[in-house]
Structure 1
Amino acid sequence: MLAGLHHVQVAVPKGVEDVSRAYYVGVLGMTELAKPPVLAARGGCWFAAGSLEIHTGVEEPFAPARKAHPGIVVTDIDELADALKAAGHEFTWDGHIVGRRRLHTFDPHGNRLEFIQQ
């Protein structure tokens, strides 16, 4: 019955679209998608890379997800780590699952993200 995951939405404060773009496009290399006008009026952005979509949605009052997180598959986790480091974003390697290289980081709004190389 279930066929896949279409997107993940992370919360952001109002008016931070340029900060989101700088991170999701500038650092992670995603492409921004146009939002339907009725949804664009609410703020936030949509980003895509391959079949993955991450949507940022304005939430007031804003509280970042510090524990809940998407697990995002990457093709080259070392390249991602280099991009995060070059942009000044901290990350933590996680070796708790044997056979999977993973790291955890936070977007500029404080939302936790996990990246996994399979």
Structure 2
Amino acid sequence: MIRFKRLDHVAIMIPTGKKEEARQFYGNTLQLVEIPGNHPRGAIWYGIADVQLHLVEEDGDTKISGRHPAFEVADLEAAKAYLTRKGIEIAYSSVITGRSRLFFRDPFGNRVELLEYEQ
């Protein structure tokens, strides 16, 4: 069983080369506060209430998109063991300091991230 705690973030894709336009819209128009840092894949992160929005550049011709929701779980190792027992393939991505994470795809190709913050 996976013990979900909360939605942590949603990653949406923006066209390559459109970061400044994205900053204009999300930062200026919607007035979201950018979370500074050197984020994976050069992403731009914003805070919205207690959830984060991650904007990641991606070419439009990508067959399998990187867009995904990310859920914080109580025990990532237990979640990994559960998914493995169910025959679900686990994938990993770049390291983010302070959190462990894994990815999998649902039967329809949607990417899902599970993460656990380090204590």
TM-score calculated relative to the size of structure 1: 0.45
**Structure number having the greater strand percentage:** 2
Structure exhibiting the larger radius of gyration computed from Cα positions: 2
- TM-score, normalised to structure 2's length? 0.45
